[in-house]
Structure 1
Amino acid sequence: MKRRELIQSAVALSVMGAFGGLSPALAQDAGAFRKARREVPRSTPGKIDVVEFFWYGCIHCYNFEPKVNAWHKKLPSDVVFTKIPIAYQSQRVNFQGHQRLYYTLETMGKLDMAHSKVFEAMHKDKKQLANDEQIFDFAESIGLKREEFANVFKSFGVNAKCAQAKTIFEAYGADGVPTLGIDGKFFTSASIAGSEDNAIRVAEALIRRQRQA
Structure 2
Amino acid sequence: MRLFPHLLGAAMLTLASLLPLSAGAADFKNGADYVTLPEAQNTDAAGKIEVTEFFAYYCPHCARFEAPLQAWVKKNAANIVFRRVHVSGGGPVAIQQRIFYTLEALGTLEQNNQKVFDAMHVERNRLATDSAAFDWAQQAGIDRAKFIDAWNSFGVQAKLRRANAMMAAYRIDQWPMVAVDGRFMTSPAQASEGDPSLQSEDQMQLGALRVMDFLITKAKTEKK
User: TM-score under structure 1 normalisation?
Assistant: 0.82
Cα displacement (A) at 1:78: 3.3
Higher CA-based Rg:
1
Within-5 A mapping of 1:52-91: 52-88=53-89, 90=90
Cα displacement (A) at 1:198: 1.1
When residues 25 and 42 of structure 1 are mapped into structure 2, their CA distance, relative to the original with a 3 A threshold, is same
Instruction: Identify the match of residue 150 of structure 1 among 121, 139, 148.
Output: 148
Secondary structure (helix, strand or coil) at the match of 2:40 reads coil
Within 1, Cα distance between the matches of 2:173 and 2:183?
15
1:162 maps to 160
Cα displacement (A) at 1:145: 1.5
Contact persistence 2:25–2:211 (CA under 8 A): no
1:25 maps to 27
1:185-211 alpha-carbon deviations (Å, 9 max, x no partner): 111111111111111111111111111
Secondary structure (helix, strand or coil) at the match of 1:130 reads coil
Q: Which amino acid aligns with 1:131?
A: T
Report percent identity of matched pairs: 34
Contact persistence 1:103–1:161 (CA under 8 A): yes
Instruction: Identify the match of residue 127 of structure 2 among 113, 126, 129.
Output: 129
Q: Unpaired runs of 5+ in structure 2?
A: 1-23, 193-203
Cα displacement (A) at 1:77: 2.2
2:213 maps to 204
Within 2, Cα distance between the matches of 1:99 and 1:162?
8
Contact persistence 1:37–1:172 (CA under 8 A): no
User: TM-score under structure 2 normalisation?
Assistant: 0.79
Contact persistence 2:134–2:147 (CA under 8 A): yes
- Between the two proteins, the alignment pairs up a number of residues equal to 188
